[in-house]
Amino acid sequence: MKVCGRSLRDHLRLLAPLFALIAVVWALRWILDEAGFPHGLVRAFSVTGATSFAILIAVWLIHRRGFGSYPNVVAVSLLLVVFSQVLIVLAILFSVIGENENVFTEPEFSIVGDDPYHVRHIIGHLTFGIGAGMLFGAAMGCLMLWLLRMLVPIQARQ
């Protein structure tokens, strides 16, 4: 798969530190909740917020490095959102397997249903979470790339 001349490997290489950022926020959220910190502090470590921030950083890198164009923004948005939603689904599955609540399945942080295995919650993350997250991320990223190109032209490379 190539997007504007860039392979999937090129995109993954560009995004590696951003995947790490999202994973660190995911782990911190879980650790803080397990350690008994107040829910207000736990809410501050939002995987969705970290993903949005990572998309903005990725767009800045795309612009700064001359990495590509708008299709690349859509590709990085998809990759980052899928990664974050898979991490959340893994945390829900760990909760189901371990038969204990964690920050991703507690009623304060998730939709409570009558299914014991959080099936609807998982399906929601794999469908709506990815779809809406990717559309919002791509729209936000494309707008940012357009603004960057208008306001901050790339210097001629020597």
66-112 tens-digit pLDDT: 888 999 999 999 999 999 999 999 998 888 888 777 777 776 666 66
User: Is residue 158 a part of any domain in this protein?
Assistant: no
Nearest CA to 52 among 139, 119, 121, 110? 139
Q: Judge residue 75's burial from the number of C-beta atoms within 10 Å of its C-beta, 0-12 exposed, 13-18 middle, 19 or more buried.
A: buried
Share of the chain above pLDDT 90, in %: 53
Q: Which amino acid is at 11?
A: H
What is the distance between the alpha carbons of residues 41 and 21, in angstroms, rounded to a whole number? 18
62 in Cβ contact with 73 (< 8 Å): yes
Measured CA distances, 101 to 30, 43, 142 (Å): 11, 16, 38
User: Is residue 157 a part of any domain in this protein?
Assistant: no
Average pLDDT in the chain: 87
Q: Which amino acid is at 151?
A: L
Q: Number of C-alpha atoms within 13 angstroms, CB side, residue 118? A: 26
Q: Quick one: pLDDT at residue 158?
A: 40
What is the distance between the alpha carbons of residues 79 and 75, in angstroms, rounded to a whole number? 6
Share of the chain above pLDDT 70, in %: 90
What is the distance between the alpha carbons of residues 25 and 132, in angstroms, rounded to a whole number? 20
Exposure class string for 100-122: b at 16+ Cβ within 10 A, else e: eebbbbeeebbeeeeeeebeebb
Measured from the Cβ of residue 24, the count of other Cβ atoms closer than 10 Å reads: 12
pTM: 0.89
- Whether residue 122 is predicted with pLDDT greater than 90 in this model: the reply is no
The total number of structural domains in the chain stands at 1
Structural domain span for residue 96: 2-151
Structure tokens at 92: 């829900």
